[in-house]
Structure 1
Amino acid sequence: HNFPEVLDYRDRAVARHNLRLHVASVQEYIDAGTLRERPDGVRNPLQTVPLTEAIQRLGFDAVFGGGRRDEEKARAKERVFSLRDEFSQWDPRRQRPELWQLYNGRHAPGEHVRVFPLSNWTELDVWQYIARENIELPEIYFAHEREVFQRSGMWLTAGEWGGPKNGESTQTRLVRYRTVGDMSCTGAVDSDAATIDQVITEIAASRLTERGATRADDKMSEAAMEDRKREGYF
């Protein structure tokens, strides 16, 4: 359940840089009967199987991700180089020391490493870098009017994924997204920050991480993210 603005941005980036794009589709797995839709409509946990099978099929030795330690406590346990076994599973006990920023990417056949170059960055660091390098972003990260409804204290975008339900009414609000994931579990925040400088000012005053404020999938249990990472999730 991707946001259309994000897919448009991805496709523009692919065309501009003449990249080769491989898409592992949750919907294709559901259509084939390999995966089954969850009752709550959230698809983030369903991404693990398509992701891990694509890594094995394409033979990747290293896969880059944008995770940061300040996002969520399970991410804080992981190194910049994260060894995954032949089933793409993560075992915290197999983590290697990374003294003086020296990284060990050795792995056995069938294994691979997940690499998180932004591990030690903060959300504010990312936005200051975006400002310095004048990086293009999807408009969804800036304040815009959007039809949303409230669920579990978050503003979610109405859509075919299963919202709103009975008793949930939509309204048009000025919001922006601090993080982008599955539409069914990624909330918007009230904001009038329409420029990079305004976003930086807003983040500097915030006391909640973007995932803590806007990601319902991390609230399923205390160990929700760690459980998924052990299974092969990013």
Structure 2
Amino acid sequence: MRAAPVSGERTAALAQCGALDALDVLEAESIHIIREVVAEFERPVLLFSGGKDSVVVLHLAAKAFWPGKVPFPVLHVDTGHNFPEVLAFRDDTVARLGLRLEVASVQDYLDDGRLQERPDGTRNPLQTLPLLDAIAAGRHDAVFGGARRDEDKARAKERIISLRDEFGQWDPRNQRPELWSLYNGRHTPGQHVRAFPISNWTELDVWRYIEREGIELPPLYYAHEREVFRRDGMWRAVGEVSQPLQSETVERRVVRYRTVGDMSCTGAVESEASDVTAVVAEVARTTVTERGATRADDRLSEAAMEDRKKDGYF
């Protein structure tokens, strides 16, 4: 692991002098945010799904407190429709870093009737209630996430430190200013904040940083051959919770995933990018965000993400 970068007032000055490149500046900003949140809040937690963005945030947190351990647990909202490779990667990462893993299970809520299965079989929109209950049960007053502004119009509206009310809800009309990178974490009992350390990063920034730092990811992010079928303009993987209709043809294709959410709503893209250098080159050429290209749950309506965020989703 590289030494922790400079942060604070020196970052801008060093960047202007050419002593830091763009990734150094982004890294310094993110580590500054993580340290500020840990200093100000009592019980932070990091949402960790095993996806690339949460992996990068966890890597940044490890650098922020190196040589000590990450001083907060990680939380995964398990839909029950996750890719097995991602769950295995999550568990290996938690064990390697000696982290405490908290799991909120959507399946538990379905089993006891607190939630009902959707007609389309997608469980991503069902994550909100288990997430909010897990935040309340853990008394977490700050929740780190890997959301980025370039992913979606709703996330572009989000502040780096974003207040959630007593019901875990977000009001896009009531955003706090963050002039001069000053972050307002004030909240009353029952409220909490969501903190987004890589909010200012792009998908290409994330992949360039993964390449530079040698960060491991689930193998789904790289080109591999698997059985898929075409639906809604996307290649869906064949699996226990993702089965083709009678009118849909199963094919073997070389694909990779740009995002690894709920298996029943996440599509793959055809790709020959089998290593991180090839992925960086591929992402540099793309003109569609990963969520727009591969997430069916974001196509439910034009405001699908914003509606879920208002209810308490990330």
* TM tier relative to shorter chain: over 0.9
* Superposed counterparts of 1:8-47, under 5 Å: 8-47=88-127
* Superposed counterparts of 1:18-167, under 5 Å: 18-167=98-247
Gaps of 5+ in 2: 1-80
Q: Secondary structure at the match of 1:105?
A: coil
Q: Deviations over 1:25-58 (max 9, x none)?
A: 0011101111100010000010000000100111
Q: Secondary structure at the match of 2:253?
A: strand
TM-score w.r.t. the length of structure 1 is 0.98
Inter-partner Cα distance in structure 2 for 1:100 and 1:142: 38
2:309 is aligned with 1:229: yes
TM-score w.r.t. the length of structure 2 is 0.74
Count matched residues: 234
Which residue identity does 1:83 align to in structure 2? L
Which residue identity does 2:185 align to in structure 1? G
Q: Deviations over 1:157-204 (max 9, x none)?
A: 112224212211211100000011011111000000011110000010
Inter-partner Cα distance in structure 2 for 1:183 and 1:51: 19
2:297 is aligned with 1:217: yes
Which residue identity does 2:85 align to in structure 1? E
Displacement after TM superposition at 1:93 (Å): 2.2
Match of 1:207 in 2: 287
**Which aligned runs of 4 or more in structure 1 are off by greater than 6 angstroms?**
none
Percent of aligned positions with the same letter in both sequences? 69
Displacement after TM superposition at 1:94 (Å): 2.2
Considering Cα pairs closer than 8 Å and 6+ residues apart, tell me whether 1 or 2 has the greater RCO: 1
Match of 2:261 in 1: 181
**Native 8 Å contact 2:258 2:290 kept in 1:** yes
Which residue identity does 2:251 align to in structure 1? Q
Q: Give 1 or 2 for the bigger CA radius of gyration.
A: 2
Gaps of 5+ in 1: none
Name the Cα RMSD after superposition.
0.8
Which residue identity does 2:198 align to in structure 1? L
Match of 2:70 in 1: none
